Structure 1
């Protein structure tokens, strides 16, 4: 069975500036992968390439076995995305936002209603279905964005810094919801973050720095013996020009 996501040798430039240089990673089906990187590392650019907001200039991307360049519709049909920027319509209710998104995916109203009820229960906000988005907290809005990203039943979910700006409890809620989706429904996840508490030692992890992958492996094994993930990360991104990928043993 093909991987949920395969990125192979992807490079992308903005004029003379290299935003991504020969980036390769694989998210296996049913796995949670953490994508670590400081601001400006290229995480959002990589997400934009995977979602086809940008056409990558070199390399290839496949989603659930479908090449993004040759089968874009089939590839993107299996993908759900939560971008860093908030994109819900605050003047609409929770249900209206979700029904609108369902209609974009060609889901009929009756089927959408059932799917929306299921997803709102999954994210713990069924009682807020008729409330306007502007009345929700930041954490609640994020949970609705996760529900929206799952409306078409994708098998791969991308989340770009989904907990930035949230309090500790809200962050924990978001992480717990996504990990439950991986554990209980076999969802594949690529989670971009710089918050180390969100990453478990057994997670697959990739460190992106200045558009290049500088380390990969199990999160608990990146770095030298006895070195924490945070310490290893800070050392890796402090190096002025890291070319060789460092893989955990």
Structure 2
């Protein structure tokens, strides 16, 4: 067990009947870094996220959040996790502020602490002026900002992002990618970001390439380029996910 890692996944396998979705997956996510999880459709990314968030039980292997086993100490482990799913989970008929207050209450925050953190996160995401608007009035990019603010309210050690920029216009996508990378660097938070968009990867990111349920490569961008003998992440990804 590495208590310094935000997330440790050890020898995790998972099957849907006879179909193996994950096969002895091992990796760690360190704090202060953005780790990009890359993989073709069907690679096992969604299954892995479902196991980390306890939507599915982990029948084989072990998953720890900040040193806490998610099966043995579920509540304590998941208290360290902030999540932004691919599909929005905001209540469209509530205002931005009402959505965030509800989430803060679920985490047991006092009204005073919740108000302070909501103000801070909305200001950082340039959404404070829109706090009284109903979510259904917001465009996709602004809804994503609210979801990121919500995920950060309880100050998690790990931010889990499941393709959060899907369907967004280029300016909105760029803004969110820049913000999350800045957050990892300055806030010492760990980020695990599932994406299929190569241009969302920064040179100092860490990469995990998942293909057919197996980890094909894990490390810094430079390490993966060197190990695959390629010049770009796109070429490295193609080499790691083709031909088997």
Q: What is the match of residue 69 of structure 2?
A: 67
Instruction: Give 3-state SS (helix, strand or coil) of 1:222's partner.
Output: helix
Aligned partner of residue 95 in structure 1, secondary structure: helix
Are the equivalent residues in 2 in contact too, given 1:6–1:25 (CA < 8 A)? yes
- Mapped to 2, the partners of 1:41 and 1:166 lie a distance apart of 23
**Count of aligned pairs between the two proteins:** 240
Query: 1:40 maps to which residue?
Result: 42
Q: Secondary structure at the match of 1:127?
A: helix
Give the alignment of 1:87-106 within 5 angstroms: 87-106=89-108
Partner of 1:227 in structure 2? 231
Residue 83 of structure 1 is matched in structure 2 by 85
Find the aligned partners of 1:93 and 1:194 in 2 and give their Cα distance.
Answer: 31
User: Any idea what SS the aligned residue of 2:5 has?
Assistant: coil
Helix, strand or coil at the partner of 2:83: strand
**Distance in 2 between residues matched to 1:61 and 1:239, nearest whole Å:** 30
State the alpha-carbon separation in 2 of the partners of residues 40 and 225 from structure 1.
26
What's the RMSD between the two structures over aligned residues? 1.2
1:4-19 mapped onto 2 (5 Å cutoff): 4-19=6-21
Contact 2:230–2:236 (CA<8 Å) still a contact in 1? no
Q: From 204, 209, 218, give the equivalent of 2:211.
A: 209
| Residue aligning to 1:52 | 54
Mapped contact 1:201–1:221 kept (Cα < 8 A): no
Distance in 1, matches of 2:49 and 2:65, equals 13
8 Å contact from structure 2 (residues 9, 62) kept in 1: yes
Q: TM-score, normalised by structure 1?
A: 0.93
Aligned equivalents of 1:221, 1:78: Cα separation in 2: 29
- CA 1:156–1:67: 2 relative to 1, 3 Å: same
* CA deviation map 1:183-225 (0-9, x unaligned): 2111111111011111122211010011111111212332433
Closer, same or farther: CA 92–214 of 1 in aligned 2, 3 Å: same
Runs of 4 or more consecutive aligned structure 1 residues displaced over 4 Å after TM superposition: none
- 2: CA distance, partners of 1:184 / 1:76: 23
Give the distance between the partners of 1:208 and 1:84, measured in 2 at CA: 18
Normalising by structure 2, we get a TM-score of: 0.95
Contact kept in structure 1, 2:33 and 2:189, CA below 8 Å: yes
User: Contact (CA 8 Å) 1:220, 1:228: kept in 2 or not?
Assistant: no
- Match of 1:120, SS state, is helix
